[in-house]
Amino acid sequence: MRFLLPALILLVAASSTHAQTLEEVVAGLEGAYARITDLRAEFTQNAFNRSLGQTIKAEGVVYLKKPGKMRWEYRTPSPQQIVSDGKSLWVYTPELNQVNVGEAPRALAGPAGSFLAGLGRVREAFTIRFLNPLKVDDAGNPVLDLTPKRPEPVLSRLILTVDPREFLVRKAVLYDQFENTVTMRFTKVSMNSGLADSLFSFAPPRGVAVVPLEVR
């Protein structure tokens, strides 16, 4: 199952033109997330399995809304929807004619599932440093290396590449306990557009098998 909880990861606003300190980058990230109520972005995803030496590519659109609502719509390599209203979680895979249903608080527990609210309080959950002595990538974007204070099997490390002007997370790399990675890039980001709550509810299509969601 391609059920990924990018700990979640994402996007924000502030500005600066000088070389930024770690404190400035992190404070900008947290402050901007505190102001975000909802978000939409297109994404590409590369999931690398270290033991198999295999990468699976995917792309789609993500919608997020406080408190705890999300909708991931995968277009490739095969359609899939991951939807939560903050209470329930649905993972719909049309090619299997199946929807997995679970309780959102349990499935989204921890920093791996706390997107908007989580990165608004990033210092509570992570120990943070710059990834390398240069502090930035080749394009001048700050790169943060985050280690969960309470590591989980699904998230042992998180690398965020941040836009230095708007503090949008352009790229996120999630590591699990086995050094498998999920690399996500975000484009066409829009925030606080008033996403409808109905976008985060899901009714299984008629004839689809409903199966309890197993969360490791």
Confirm if 81 and 193 have CB atoms less than 8 A apart: no
- Collect all residues with Cβ–Cβ distance below 8 Å to 86 and sequence separation of at least 6: 67, 68, 69, 104, 200
CATH code (residue 116): 2.50.20.10
Tell me which residue of 150, 142, 152, 153 sits closest to 126, measured CA to CA. 150
Q: Is residue 10 part of a domain?
A: no
Q: Would 178 be classed as within a structural domain?
A: yes
What confidence tens digit (pLDDT) does each residue in 19-72 have?
799 999 999 998 887 888 999 999 999 999 999 999 999 999 999 998 889 999
Task: Please state the pTM of the whole predicted model.
Answer: 0.84
Q: Are 145 and 37 in contact (CB under 8 A)?
A: no
Residue 41 lies in domain? 22-197
Query: CB neighbours of 72 closer than 8 A, spacing ≥ 6?
Result: 60, 61, 62, 80, 81, 82, 83
List, in sequence order, every residue forming a beta bridge with 146; answer none if it has no partner. 128, 158
**Predicted confidence (pLDDT) per residue in 173-199, tens digit:** 999 999 999 999 999 999 999 999 999
In a domain, 12, yes or no: no
Q: What is the count of structural domains for the chain?
A: 1
Is 126 a domain residue?
yes
Q: pLDDT tens across 142-158, in order?
A: 999 999 998 888 889 99
* Domain assignment of residue 106, yes or no: yes
Asked if the model's pLDDT at residue 3 lies above 50, the reply is: no
